[in-house]
Chain A
Amino acid sequence: MSTTLPTRTEQDAEKPTGELVLRDVEKSFGVGENRVTAVDHINLTVKPGEFVTLLGPSGCGKTTTLRMIAGFESPTSGSVLLDGEDMLRLTPDRRPMAMVFQSYALFPHMTVFDNVAYGLKLRKVPAKQLKEEVGFALASMGLTALADRAPNQLSGGQQQRVALARAMVVKPKVLLFDEPLSNLDAKLRVQMRLEIRRLQRLLGISSVYVTHDQDEAMSLSDRIVVMRSGRIEQVGTPDEIYRTPESVFVADFIGRANFLDVTEASTSSREGHADITVLGQRMSARAHRDAVAAPESVLLVRPEAIRVRRFAEGDDKVAGNHGRVLNAVFYGESVEYEIETEVGTIVAVVSDPVYDEIVPVGDLVGISFDPERAWLLPAAS
């Protein structure tokens, strides 16, 4: 049975491999009225060596998509190609991919060493080479001292390292991650995602990573795929997704957002901008291509783009350029204000605050922002 398993030398070919293409992939469950479409005609190309994250709320179809790539689910229609080869006729064990699971899924009856060696043994790797490669994989994850332990003697973080080593050691063309860090505590998560990124870069393996944690997506990915109810909402680099979201949904899901009501939106003379009236002021802001044409639009201003200053007696009050502090939370590196204004509650984050200058609750503050850091969006999106 080992004959048809992906041979390991393919990795050494000159041209980088691991281009994964999803074409019109659909997955539906049930029949008739009970039919539910979990994944709705998805198109996506993961370039060789690229790290792509599927991000979205639970039930958006990201896990189903990943499992179709792995072969644990079969698409209702569409195709999955790896370097041009049709993956759908292959069972999961024949696909040159390896998956890392949320529950780690270590084999409890095997030692750490045997877990990592499992895939290589299936590929009939000679004993000496096997020992070397497993040893290297363990060393690179800092697990050498734990080689003879049973999985249940390890901490959660250690277990996930073993799972990672086990998947990477077979040198798959594609690594699949199904929320691998969600069972770990916050500090460990941050550490592990750096480690995953380091190893993935080192090995240059194309990766698809599923998560609902935007921080994870931002810090790991070359590109993020934001999904919603089975559809792709936006594909882009973390920067694009954050600064120029395609929709209110994406803007809201990634990071935190203030949406300000906008009146009198019109096309600006400046490329990619629109002239708008917001918080009582006329300004020119960066705009989504459909924003001006839309019946209603809103302005996205991230909390860190809002400038807060003490409101002095003499300042003129224009509707919306000031507000009363509802709540002020000191985080050390930043202070977060909740400000009640005439246009609704606005959240502002001021970084590197001077403790003595924090505006106390109940005081009036003036609010402003740089329109270049705002983004106009169609409201119904």
Chain B
Amino acid sequence: MTISNATVPRARRFSLRSRETPLDLTTRIAVVLVVLILGVLIVLPLVNILSSAVSEQGLAVFNSIFSSVNLQVLQNTVVLGVLVGAIGTVIGFLLAYVQVRLDFRGKKLLHLLALLPIVSPPFAVATAVITLFGRSGIITRDLLGITPTLYGLPGLTIVLSLSFFPAAYMNMLGLMRSLDPSLDEAAASIGANKWRTFVTVTLPMLVPGFASSFLLLFVEAIADLANPLVIGGDFTVLSSRAYIAITGEYNVGAGAAYSLVLLLPGLLVFLIQRYWATRKSVVSVTGKPAGRPAVITSIPARIVLLTLSGLLALLIVTIYATVIVGGFVKILGINNEFDLSHYRYVLSGIGSDAMITTTALALIATPIAGVLGLVIAWLITRKLRRGRALIDFLGMLGLAVPGTVLGIGYALTFNKPLGFGNVAILPALAGGGAVLGGAIAIVMVYVIRSSPSGQRSGVAALQQIDVAIDEASASLGASGVTTFRKVTLPLIRPALLSGLIYAFARSMTTLSPIIFITTPQTKIMTSQILSEVDAGRFGNAFAYCTILIVIVMSVIGLLNLFVRDSSVPKAAGLSSATIN
């Protein structure tokens, strides 16, 4: 979920080698198509939010934004964001540090566990945490004999930190791997001991990583809707306030206004990240580390680090074990009798409908998102000079905009036929009377939500490929299309794969934008889980979550099989010759 990588450093390769040759026809068509698609998928919904927010109802919200009630909501949101940002960043840092600087058995397993929350549906953690640590939780009441109140800020903080820390983990991991270990060695060689080196050299170098992780988690936390609905209790945040305004009070203008307030920090963080990435701060260093980071051998340090990450791992395992076991017993913690009724419920009737529909829609959206992201990446790294930053920005917007905001924007835009004046261009795509039961709008949300990951990995991969490789192919007689097919595509295939996997996982597990546009005809698993949790039928929710995770994992496995190509020479990959 790191947004930073996709930005293209502005003055990269500026020299007299710049391309001023006019764009060829293929490029022109691609640009027009991309702009058109992004216009409909993201710009239009945002414009509609803006215009609704300045409607009478919307303005009323802005006027009362400093009223005590709204101020409380605002304060709740910020407090939650700060707590989750801080705790999630610390967890991410700890696991990444252990991963880079420690040798131990089960390292790979710990890595996979740290990534698990990415593929899990939004309620898995929340329901499991309630079952384990709630008022009548297995661990709290049955083992420790205490009955804490989890609903509200404490529960939200725990659940959101555990759900979102993987973003910080990935961010820190990438950063720490790119740090040049010779810097640590340099500090050591002039007499700094290990602790001093850590405090005076390693940590300062990681400051941008801490800051960007914190901001990322802050935005994710305040944008989340699912968990505040389930575990928030009376603790209202902006996203749940917007949801109540729209679904409970039928006040679209107010909903738009709340979501606009929500949108601002998201966009701000996004812009800050891009600024950082462009400036290539302290961190960029050599890109080719001079060696492996030194492994920590000090026994006390090892014990502390391994104990902490071991506990975290245990917590994650317990949570997901709860999810899996919870689906197979009557009521976990109260009546632990083996029981298949939850799976019966989920796998037949409504549940199987939702399962099939969700998977199908996600499978439709994934390749579209992958291709869209890839084309954008190709345009901004290889073809465009002017307007490149704008397209890059529009492409990444789908990730920068909070899901709640996106959903409200889609509801505003696509619930009625779309047209100029009386001329309808598009029929209603979302809501009750929409074509195909609103399935199109859902696919659109999936696409715009996932294409940024394709774009990001595409840009990263394309930047690794020396332009001279394209030119070499052209100079040997290959046309642009041939070069793309025979050289570029095979080289970015791994990146494309990871982009697709991420896109699919994201589509399957996304909830906040879906809530606003789902219809009775088109059942989506995540919103089904929400109603099960709402109704207190945790067993059904657990069964749903487990099935969702299984589907995501199997599709990832299949994608891996399909997209992998055996014709690549064994030791290929991006050799040092190509990274220039």
Partners in one complex: yes
Q: Does A109 have its Cβ within 8 Å of any Cβ on chain B?
A: yes
Check A67 against B475 for contact (C-beta < 8 Å): no
Query: How far is A167 from B476 in the complex, measured between Cα atoms in Å?
Result: 7
Q: Contact flags (1/0) for A102-141 with B, using CB distance below 8 Å?
A: 1111111111000000110011000000000000000000
Q: Does A176 have its Cβ within 8 Å of any Cβ on chain B?
A: yes
Query: Which of B17, B19, B476 neighbours the largest number of chain A CB atoms within 10 Å of its CB?
Result: B476
Please count how many residues in chain B sit with their CB below 8 Å of the partner chain's CB atoms. Answer: 36
Check A93 against B575 for contact (C-beta < 8 Å): no
Set of chain A residues within 8 Å of B491, measured between Cβ atoms = 107-109
Q: Does A74 have its Cβ within 8 Å of any Cβ on chain B?
A: yes
Q: Does A98 have its Cβ within 8 Å of any Cβ on chain B?
A: yes
- A105-B466 contact given A99-B472, A150-B569, A150-B570, CB 8 Å threshold: yes
One of A38, A95, A101, A152 near B576 (C-beta < 8 A): A152
- A92-B571 contact given A1-B482, A103-B468, A103-B580, CB 8 Å threshold: no
Query: How far is A153 from B570 in the complex, measured between Cα atoms in Å?
Result: 10
Q: Tell me, rounded to whole Å, the shortest Cβ–Cβ distance linking A100 to chain B.
A: 9
Check B477 against A101 for contact (C-beta < 8 Å): no
Considering the complex, which residues of chain A in the window 171-199 have a beta carbon less than 8 Å from any beta carbon of chain B?
176
Q: Which residue of B lies closest to A27 (CB)?
A: B16
One of B16, B469, B476, B478 near A29 (C-beta < 8 A): B16
Set of chain A residues within 8 Å of B335, measured between Cβ atoms = none
* Total A-B Cβ pairs within 8 A: 133
Query: How far is A36 from B16 in the complex, measured between Cα atoms in Å?
Result: 9
Check A111 against B476 for contact (C-beta < 8 Å): no
Query: Which of B468, B475, B570, B572 neighbours the largest number of chain A CB atoms within 10 Å of its CB?
Result: B475
One of B466, B475, B569, B577 near A109 (C-beta < 8 A): B569
- A152-B571 contact given A104-B577, A109-B491, CB 8 Å threshold: yes
Set of chain B residues within 8 Å of A5, measured between Cβ atoms = 477
Check A109 against B16 for contact (C-beta < 8 Å): no
Q: Contact flags (1/0) for B471-490 with A, using CB distance below 8 Å?
A: 11111111110100011001
Set of chain A residues within 8 Å of B469, measured between Cβ atoms = 105-108
Q: Does A233 have its Cβ within 8 Å of any Cβ on chain B?
A: no
Check B568 against A118 for contact (C-beta < 8 Å): no
Check B16 against A118 for contact (C-beta < 8 Å): no
Considering the complex, which residues of chain B in the window 470-519 have a beta carbon less than 8 Å from any beta carbon of chain A?
471-480, 482, 486-487, 490-491
Check A64 against B468 for contact (C-beta < 8 Å): no
Q: Does B574 have its Cβ within 8 Å of any Cβ on chain A?
A: yes
One of B471, B479, B575 near A72 (C-beta < 8 A): B471
Check B471 against A151 for contact (C-beta < 8 Å): no
Query: Which of A123, A151, A166 neighbours the largest number of chain B CB atoms within 10 Å of its CB?
Result: A151
One of A38, A105, A153 near B471 (C-beta < 8 A): A105
Q: Contact flags (1/0) for A66-96 with B, using CB distance below 8 Å?
A: 0100111110000000000000000111110
Q: Tell me, rounded to whole Å, the shortest Cβ–Cβ distance linking B552 to chain A.
A: 29
Query: How far is A147 from B573 in the complex, measured between Cα atoms in Å?
Result: 17
Q: Does B21 have its Cβ within 8 Å of any Cβ on chain A?
A: yes
Check A108 against B575 for contact (C-beta < 8 Å): yes
Q: Does A265 have its Cβ within 8 Å of any Cβ on chain B?
A: no
Please count how many residues in chain A sit with their CB below 8 Å of the partner chain's CB atoms. Answer: 52
Check A107 against B474 for contact (C-beta < 8 Å): no
Q: Which residue of B lies closest to A152 (CB)?
A: B575
Check A152 against B473 for contact (C-beta < 8 Å): no
One of A38, A67, A122 near B482 (C-beta < 8 A): A122
Q: Does A218 have its Cβ within 8 Å of any Cβ on chain B?
A: no
Check B16 against A38 for contact (C-beta < 8 Å): yes
Q: Contact flags (1/0) for A256-275 with B, using CB distance below 8 Å?
A: 00000000000000000000
Query: How far is A108 from B575 in the complex, measured between Cα atoms in Å?
Result: 6
Query: How far is A70 from B475 in the complex, measured between Cα atoms in Å?
Result: 7
Q: Does A170 have its Cβ within 8 Å of any Cβ on chain B?
A: yes
Query: How far is A103 from B466 in the complex, measured between Cα atoms in Å?
Result: 8
Query: How far is A151 from B474 in the complex, measured between Cα atoms in Å?
Result: 19
Q: Does B281 have its Cβ within 8 Å of any Cβ on chain A?
A: no
Q: Does A159 have its Cβ within 8 Å of any Cβ on chain B?
A: yes
Q: Which residue of A lies closest to B565 (CB)?
A: A109
One of A93, A109, A156 near B474 (C-beta < 8 A): A93
- A176-B574 contact given A1-B482, A103-B466, CB 8 Å threshold: no
Check B577 against A74 for contact (C-beta < 8 Å): no
Q: Does A232 have its Cβ within 8 Å of any Cβ on chain B?
A: no
Q: Contact flags (1/0) for B443-476 with A, using CB distance below 8 Å?
A: 0000000000000000000000010110111111
Set of chain B residues within 8 Å of A59, measured between Cβ atoms = 16
Check A111 against B577 for contact (C-beta < 8 Å): no
Query: How far is A156 from B246 in the complex, measured between Cα atoms in Å?
Result: 64
Check B468 against A109 for contact (C-beta < 8 Å): no
Q: Tell me, rounded to whole Å, the shortest Cβ–Cβ distance linking A287 to chain B.
A: 37
Check B572 against A152 for contact (C-beta < 8 Å): yes
Query: How far is A286 from B573 in the complex, measured between Cα atoms in Å?
Result: 59
Considering the complex, which residues of chain B in the window 281-323 have a beta carbon less than 8 Å from any beta carbon of chain A?
none
- A64-B16 contact given A1-B482, A109-B568, A153-B571, CB 8 Å threshold: yes
Considering the complex, which residues of chain B in the window 527-577 have a beta carbon less than 8 Å from any beta carbon of chain A?
568-577
Check A118 against B569 for contact (C-beta < 8 Å): no
Set of chain A residues within 8 Å of B482, measured between Cβ atoms = 1, 93, 122
Query: Which of B480, B569, B570 neighbours the largest number of chain A CB atoms within 10 Å of its CB?
Result: B569
Q: Does A377 have its Cβ within 8 Å of any Cβ on chain B?
A: no
Q: Tell me, rounded to whole Å, the shortest Cβ–Cβ distance linking A159 to chain B.
A: 5
Q: Tell me, rounded to whole Å, the shortest Cβ–Cβ distance linking B467 to chain A.
A: 9
Check A150 against B474 for contact (C-beta < 8 Å): no
Query: How far is A102 from B580 in the complex, measured between Cα atoms in Å?
Result: 10
Q: Does B51 have its Cβ within 8 Å of any Cβ on chain A?
A: no
Query: How far is A78 from B274 in the complex, measured between Cα atoms in Å?
Result: 41
Check A108 against B578 for contact (C-beta < 8 Å): yes
Q: Does B20 have its Cβ within 8 Å of any Cβ on chain A?
A: yes
Q: Contact flags (1/0) for B1-36 with A, using CB distance below 8 Å?
A: 000000000000000111111000000000000000
Q: Does A365 have its Cβ within 8 Å of any Cβ on chain B?
A: no
Q: Tell me, rounded to whole Å, the shortest Cβ–Cβ distance linking B472 to chain A.
A: 4
Set of chain B residues within 8 Å of A111, measured between Cβ atoms = 569
Set of chain B residues within 8 Å of A95, measured between Cβ atoms = 475
Q: Does A97 have its Cβ within 8 Å of any Cβ on chain B?
A: yes
Check A152 against B474 for contact (C-beta < 8 Å): no
Set of chain B residues within 8 Å of A150, measured between Cβ atoms = 569-572, 575
Set of chain A residues within 8 Å of B479, measured between Cβ atoms = 1, 91, 93
Query: How far is A109 from B573 in the complex, measured between Cα atoms in Å?
Result: 6
Check B571 against A93 for contact (C-beta < 8 Å): no
Query: How far is A166 from B468 in the complex, measured between Cα atoms in Å?
Result: 14
Q: Tell me, rounded to whole Å, the shortest Cβ–Cβ distance linking B12 to chain A.
A: 15
Check A91 against B575 for contact (C-beta < 8 Å): no
Query: How far is A142 from B268 in the complex, measured between Cα atoms in Å?
Result: 58
Q: Tell me, rounded to whole Å, the shortest Cβ–Cβ distance linking A37 to chain B.
A: 10
Query: Which of A71, A103, A105, A153 neighbours the largest number of chain B CB atoms within 10 Å of its CB?
Result: A105
Q: Tell me, rounded to whole Å, the shortest Cβ–Cβ distance linking B443 to chain A.
A: 33
Check B476 against A101 for contact (C-beta < 8 Å): no
Q: Contact flags (1/0) for B83-100 with A, using CB distance below 8 Å?
A: 000000000000000000
Set of chain A residues within 8 Å of B474, measured between Cβ atoms = 71-72, 91-93
Set of chain B residues within 8 Å of A156, measured between Cβ atoms = 577
Check A118 against B473 for contact (C-beta < 8 Å): yes
Check B576 against A122 for contact (C-beta < 8 Å): no
Q: Which residue of B lies closest to A101 (CB)?
A: B468
Check B475 against A93 for contact (C-beta < 8 Å): yes
Set of chain B residues within 8 Å of A74, measured between Cβ atoms = 20-21
Q: Sorted from nearest, which 7 A-B pairs have the closest CB atoms?
A: A152-B575, A119-B476, A105-B468, A105-B472, A150-B569, A99-B475, A92-B474
**A-B CB contact pairs (8 Å), 10 listed:** A59-B16, A92-B471, A92-B474, A93-B474, A101-B471, A101-B472, A103-B577, A122-B478, A151-B572, A152-B573
A residues with CB within 8 A of B: 1, 5-6, 29, 36, 38, 59, 61, 63-64, 67, 70-74, 91-95, 97-99, 101-111, 118-119, 122-123, 148-153, 156, 159, 163, 166-167, 170, 176
Q: A6-B477, A92-B471, A104-B577 are in contact. List 20 more A-B contacts (CB 8 A).
A: A29-B18, A29-B20, A70-B471, A91-B479, A92-B475, A93-B476, A94-B477, A99-B471, A99-B475, A101-B468, A102-B468, A108-B575, A109-B490, A109-B491, A118-B486, A119-B476, A149-B569, A152-B571, A152-B575, A159-B577
